[in-house]
Structure formats: C-alpha cells, structure tokens
Copies of this chain bind each other. A is one copy, B any other.
Amino acid sequence: MKTGTQHLYIPGPTNVPEAVRQAMIVPMQDHRAPDFGDLTLGLFADLKKVFKTETGTVMMFPGSGTGCWEAAITNTLNPGDKVLMARHGQFSLLWADMAVKLGLDVEIVDLAWGAGAPANEFARILGNDRHGKIKAVFVTHNETATGVTSDVALVRRALDESFHDALLFVDGVSSIGSIDFRMDEWGVDLAVTGSQKGFMLPAGLGMLGVSAKAMAAAEGAKMRRAYFDFTDMARANATGYFPYTPPVPLFHGLRRALDRMLDEGMENIFARHRRLASGVRNAVAAWGMDLAAEHPSLYSDTVSAIRVPQGVDARDVIRIAYDRYNCSFGAGLGPLNGKVFRIGHLGDLNEGMCLSAISLAELCLAAAGAQIRFGSGVAAAQEIYAEPAARAVQRSTRAAARIAAE
C-alpha cells in the first residue's frame, strides 16, 4: 500500500494549490444565470494579464491544449495553406501531424530533439518566400518533451525583418503562466495553452490568445469548424456566456489560481521558476549527467529532460519511482524513451518539493544501475536554495554559463 504524499514531478498536470482545490468544490450552478458573467468576465480580463496582451482576446475552450491547436488552425487558415514549422520534440511533432491532418501544406524543418526553434533558418525561408505563400509560422515555445525553451522574440524578428505577413502561432502549453511570455510585444497571433500546467488546475480547459490580426483572419477562413469556432465563442463570451455548457468548477478554480498568480506577480513567478529550476540543473550537473537541451541558453525553467548514463534504462528510473517511492517522473517520449526521464518543475512548487524530487531521483537512478553519489545532487541544489531568492537568480544564470563553458 502506498502511503504519504504522492510526489508529482511530471510536467503537467501540476500540483493544484490547496486554495484552488477548495475553490473547485462547488455545487453545480446555472451557466445561464444572469450574474454568471460576474465570474467569467473577470477571468477573461485577468487571463489577458497573464498572456500579456491588451489588444488580443483570450478564449477558453472546454477540452485541452490540443483542442486549441486545432482551434488556432481551423479558424485562421484555409485548406492547403502553407505553414512553416520545426520538429524537435514530441509536441512539435504532434502539432505538425495535426497540421497535416487538417489539410495544411506543412514545411517542416527537422532538428535534433534538444534543439530550439531555428530562428535563423526560419528567417532564411521567410526571406525567400517572396510571394507570401507561407501563411503561418508555428513555434513551440517550450518543448515539454525535451525541456527546451525557444526564443519567440527571435522568430518575430525574423518575420519582421523579412517584412513577412505570416501569422505567428505559439504553443505555450508549458510556458504561459510559468516563464516569460509576451503576446503583444512578441507579436504572437495565436497563443495556445491549457489549464493543467502554469495555471495549476486539472486538465479540462484549453486557453487561446487570439490577436486582432488573427481574429480578422478568422472571418475569411474557410476551414470547417464548429465546436472550436471563434465567432460563436466570441459572441457568447462577450457577455460572459458560452455556446455550450462549460466546466464551471474549473472557472472557480481558475479565479483562485489567477488571484494567486497576480498576487505573486508574473515576474516573481518567473524568478521562482528560474531559481527552482536552477537547483534541479545544478543537481544534474553534480551527477555528471546532461540535459536533453543542447545548450544552456535553451534550458527550460519548467521541465528538465535528464539523460541517464549509458547502460541505464530511464524507464527503470521512472518505474522504481512510481512503485517504491510513490513518485511520478515524466517519461522520455518518442526517440527519447528510455534515454531520459523528466522532472517537471512548474506550477505550485517550492524548494522542499524540488529537493524531494532530486533525492528520490538519486535513489531511483542508483536502483536502476547508475553510479551516483547519494546526496550529491541534493547538495548542489541546496547551494542555490540556500541563497535569498533574488541573488539565486543571478547565480543560477552564472551556473548555467559555467556549465556551458565546460
């Protein structure tokens, strides 16, 4: 029998804060009540703060981030439209698959799993696209499978510098609400995320930021769509309602989650994620292991994909964690299966949780056959966590640079 806290260190669903859990324990209510907008209109307003958009619109679709991928595509593009994407991890791969399924002409830049979005290559391709055949560029801001954060601003610059008009789609499922994301400043047209990561809720809501340009594109877009239709949703949302029954308990949870996020402050949230992630990365360095991410500049502050040593099967690490220690780590996906295990370090998290993740990882790595000195990773993380928050952020940047230099 398993006892004690279930240790959840996957990159989503993340741990739900107690206050948010409380808020979701509600009796059912009429989603057509006259005062229903008192709840929902405030959510839309505050979601815009998290997405950092003033000119865009944020919608919530009952479903998942995957559904919002589809909503973004079917509302703004036409069958056969050419789009530009990179494939460098499981989620960029799945998004590309969906684009093909939905009838787009997908130009794919294939990269190593561990690479970031190829802004230079995108710039070259966009520069050559004299006739504006490319209607959209898709960027996976944070590739959850590899723990890689790409530089969306660079892709925007690539578009701007070639005076290219394509829409900029961004998968921010494991970034928005946790690490720096700026919809307006970066000129993101479609920003996709879900409830179960930085928003610290159960899965069940996809959120989608839509720029004014994307909204305009939706008017002429001819892809078939119904459930995910912007027009129906926007019209109902305008007064706080939905075109079909929404999952109201999640709205109550989101209210509380947004209150927490805005109370903590987005920049403080980012700094906390940076600090906690730095501890985990220091631990990995101390173990003498590598991250899947190719370069420190790509290290994700929300998830680390850790390469296990030769001869060790990462699946054993994960299985032992689950069976013996009531702990869930993320698996390696696709070609990384068996080669990495992932520690999700996003959402409602603190030092003690990261330290238990690291110390349990040490036990599981050892049990799976890795040569590891007990406590070594913990000590490396403690070096970060011993310092006051503000300085630790700097230090962690330095630590990353040091590792990079080695």
Contact = CB atoms under 8 A, between A and B. Distances in A.
Interface string A55-79: 0000001111111011000100001
Contacts of A374: 375, 378-379, 382-383, 386
A30 B348 CA distance: 16
A128 interface: no
Say which size band chain A's interface belongs to: 35 or more
Interface in A179-224: 194, 196, 202-204, 223-224
Contacts of A33: 322, 328
B65 A352 contact: no
A263 B1 contact: yes
A196 B375 CA distance: 32
Contacts of A268: 1
A102 B226 CA distance: 7
A48 interface: no
A349 to B, nearest CB: 5
Nearest to A243: B66
A32 interface: yes
Given A227-B66, A355-B359, A245 B196 contact: yes
Contacts of A331: 32
A138 to B, nearest CB: 14
Interface string A269-293: 0001000000000000000000000
Contacts of A351: 325, 360, 363
Nearest to A328: B30
Contact of A67 (B62, B359, B376): B62
A227 to B, nearest CB: 5
8 contacts: A3-B350, A10-B32, A66-B227, A101-B225, A203-B248, A363-B386, A373-B379, A375-B377
